Every structure is written in structure tokens, then in C-alpha cells.
Structure 1
């Protein structure tokens, strides 16, 4: 059962500078220990969110995204940053209408519409402005950095993997270093239906702590091993909204990245008592092992 997290005492008074008539505070954190988000309700039906970032890196990424990247999404397609306080890694965010798509019972046609809208927003995010020299260097090295993390996650996964599975993952990491040029830009970093808010006004995106310059294909990994694996029609709809198909290099990179996602899930999921993430990693790895059998 999820434990309710109280708003930390050191930030309780800070939102009152902006919202003087707070009448309710509700914990809306995700179900993992480092997620800390609260909804504030004020007089006049005003809603705001207080978020305490898990780390300085995530705080820096998210505040930068709100200030410099997310305006490209368009009005009402993402929250706004009302204020932030770096010493406490805390952000005050406006609310956008909608319910996470992951928690709604939708028909097949409705899911395709959601994915098409998500593809459109994802394209806007990926194309949000020119990368400067530093960002372009970070983005250009992102696949190499993903491959570099392989041994760390293999060590953390320990005996949850067989030696054959370890070798397959190492092979995909090696292939990832050789995929060739792929397009780069700003990515969401946790692009999936739990972070897509659906409303009559359309779709909005939330949760930008992982937004960064990277290979754009990295934004499709979770979708590829969850939503699209069982529903290829949703992938087709997403790409219609995105405006193009994947290149051959991106398809190859995506396959390699799914292998690295699998070992990441099998390292992180059991350690954080998260069976859904663990099951995602095991399913992906089992599929890759079957496809790699001689």
C-alpha cells in the first residue's frame, strides 16, 4: 500500500507566498520513494503543485525545461513554472486539465487518438529550438553514455540474469555504439501514458525532470516495450502525429535500447519493490532471448 507523504516542513510556508489561501494539501506522488509531489487547493478553485526534485540534476533539468523548452508545446500543453527554490530543490507548478491516460478505460480508437496527439507533442518537444554547442555534444554522446551504463546495471541485477542473458545485453550495448548518426533534440525522458494528461481540450504532458538533450529515439523505449508491443496500431498512430517514420538507424538503436532498458528494470525493479517495472524488464529480455536463439 502506498504511504502518504507529508509536505516537508521546510517548504510548507513557501507556497503561501504565492497562494495565500491554501485550503487543502494532497499527496499525489508516484508510488516510489523518491517521488514527492503535492497538489495544493486554494480558495477560488485555484490548483498548484509543489514538487521536491529527487536530486540537483533532476531539479536543474526540469527548471530549465520549463523556462526554455516547453513553451514550444503550445498553450495548455504543459504546466508552467510559477517559482522555484534551488536550495530546497522545490518547484511550484501550475495545473493543466486532464487525467493520466494510463488510468482511463479507453476504446481502441480513443487510444489511437491519444497516441497520435502524443506523437504531435513529442515532435514539438524534440524540435524545440536549436541545441547550443554544449547541448549538441551531450545529445551526440547520449547513446554512447547509455551503452557505458550497461556494466553498472548488470552488476546491480546480479544473479537475476543468466550468463547467456548477460552476453546478449553486452552484444546489444556494443551494437548501440555502432548504429551511426541519428537525430538529436530535447527529449521528455519518461514518455509514457502516465505522463500524458487527457482532457476534452486535448493532451498535455507533465513530469519533465528527465528532459535533456539526447538522441530522440531514446524517448520511445518505454512505449516500444509496453504500449506498442501489444498494440502496433498505437505505434502507427503515434508516428502519424510525430510526422515521420523511424530511420533504419533509429530502429536499430531502439532495439538495442530496449535490451538496456530490460537490464535496468531488472536491477531497479526488485530493489525498489516495483513488480511492474521488474515484469517489464523480464518480458523484454525473454522476448529478445527467443529472437536471438539460433
Structure 2
């Protein structure tokens, strides 16, 4: 065990004040910068909990808000529930849900389709769960514009990893995103990749550190860029669970957002050695070019 995997004494003391004596600690952090998560075993045979230290103030605020105000709508078997949080430690104590990440499982095709169908059901519930009033509606209504206006920063970070023709295409799609009319708004998971999709025969979602208010279609970008491209049947399964098809405006927004996501993949993936992320970004840009949008 490395020093980075050890549970800091201050965090351990805080956690024990909330849940009682801790009998064992297991580091279950992901292999990515800023991930610090531990599984805590408790005495007396009580169910264990997870202790998550957020990567920063914004991530902590997003996740703690999500667990208090929207995630309970999914139910205790479909998403972790908040035990307690600490702004001082930027930490959350969370209940466990059954299952493992779908990305780590080799399941039959029918089970995979069912997992995605249920994922769509849960996203529909989540999108409807947030209190979309006041500043939250403003945040949601400006989400696509904020994404589009951040394209130059992403392109600068990606540098010459994005070819001139790709750059022109991405800039055009970002401009189109600014001109789209109003789209359905809701409370987003914000990171709806298969790694956060838990399967036990039932589907659950974890990791709400990027949860926020926005355009509902934004939550489908990760699947659009990966699973849906590989197997269109997964798209049908998700939307069947979600309860509606996407409008033509949402479809076009999805295409535009995928271009921004691809540039982000190249900007982050290359310097951080994430080859899978780089391949995903390049594949999305290649598909967009081939479509000659």
C-alpha cells in the first residue's frame, strides 16, 4: 500500500464520529488524478460505507447538492445515499449499492440491453428530480452556450492534436450550438459513462461529482460517443427506458456536443497517457468528418 492510498487521520477521525468504529479500510480509488475513495468496514456486522474525498470545492459542492436534492429520487438500490458530508474535509460518506461497474463485466447482450434500458429510466427520474427554478433554471438554460463558448480553450489545450480541418468543423458545430433554440432542461448526472453504471441484475448510477442543471441531452453525450456508436441497439434501449425519443434539435445538439467532447478527450488524454480517451476522441472526430455535417 502506498502513502497515497492511506486514509488520512483527519478523515478517519471525522468518519468514525459519524458511523462509529472502523474495522477495515480498502482503497478503491480510480486510476485517475484526484480520485480518493475508500471502502470502510464497520463493527457489529453493520453495512459498510464509502468515504469519498472530493477533488476540489466545486466537485464537493456539486456532489453534496446532488445527494441531498436529487439523487434520493432514484432510490437506495439505484444510487448511493448520503450519510453525512463535511465541507471542511470536502468529504462525503455514502451507502453502498449492489453490483459492479458494467464496464468491468462480461454480460450477455440481452442483459446489457436491459442494463441500458434501466439506465434510461433512472436518468429520466433524475432529470425530473431537481428544483428547476430561479438560479437553477438560469444555470440550465445557459449550459449549452457555456459549453460552446469554451471551445477555444479546449482547442488551445489540444493544440496540434486537432488538425486544421477538424478545428474548422468543431468551431462550426460550436457556433451552431449557440444558435439552437430552447431544449428540455433538467438535473444531470453529468458523467454518465459505463464506468459509473452499476449492474447487479438491476442498474444503479454512482459518482455525481459532475452533477448539475443543464440541457437533458447533455447526459447522453458519453453514450453517444461510445456505446451507441458501437451498438445502436443500446441507444434504443436507453431511450425506451427514458420514455421518449430525442427531438431533431436535441439530435443536432448531441452531434455538436460530441465534437466538443472529442477535443476535450485529446486535450486531456494525450498529456495524461489515457490512450483509450485519445482513441475515443479521434474516433468521434473521424465519424463527424465522414458525415460531412
* TM-score, normalised with respect to structure 2: 0.95
Alpha-carbon distance in 1 for matches of 2:90, 2:82: 13
1:45: Cα distance to partner?
5.1
**What are structure 1's unaligned runs of at least 5 residues?**
none
Q: Distance in 1 between matches of 2:89 and 2:97?
A: 24
Give per-residue Cα distances to partners, 1:133-188, cap 9 Å, x unaligned.
Answer: 10000000000000011000100101111111111110110011112121000000
SS in 2 for 1:118: helix
TM-score of the superposed pair, with normalisation by structure 1? 0.95
Q: Which residue of 1 aligns with 2:119?
A: 118
Assess if the C-alpha contact under 8 Å between 1:4 and 1:27 holds in 2.
no
Runs of 4+ deviating beyond 4 Å: none
Which secondary structure does the structure 2 equivalent of 1:262 belong to? helix
Cα deviation, residue 291, structure 1: 2.1
Determine if contact 1:78/1:204 at 8 Å carries over to the other structure. yes
Give, in whole Å, the separation in 1 of the partners of 2:269 and 2:178: 26
My pick for the range that moved more, 2-11 or 247-256, is: 2-11
Counterpart contact for 2:76–2:97, Cα < 8 Å: no
Q: How many residues are paired up? A: 291
Q: In structure 2, the residue corresponding to 1:18 is in which secondary structure?
A: helix
Q: Which stretches in structure 2 are left out of the alignment for 5+ residues?
A: none
Equivalent positions of 1:47-196 (< 5 A) are 47-196=48-197
RMSD: 1.5
Q: Residues 83 and 130 (structure 1 numbering): CA distance in 2 closer, same or farther, change over 3 Å?
A: closer
Q: How do residues 223-242 of structure 1 correspond to structure 2 at under 5 angstroms?
A: 223-242=223-242
Deviation string 1:15-60 (CA, Å, 9 cap, x unpaired) is 1113333222111111111111111112315211111111111111
Corresponding position: 1:251 with 2:251: yes
Please give the alpha-carbon distance, in whole angstroms, between the structure 2 residues aligned to 1:96 and 1:273.
31
CA distance in 1, matches of 2:178, 2:37: 37
3-state SS of 1:49 partner: strand
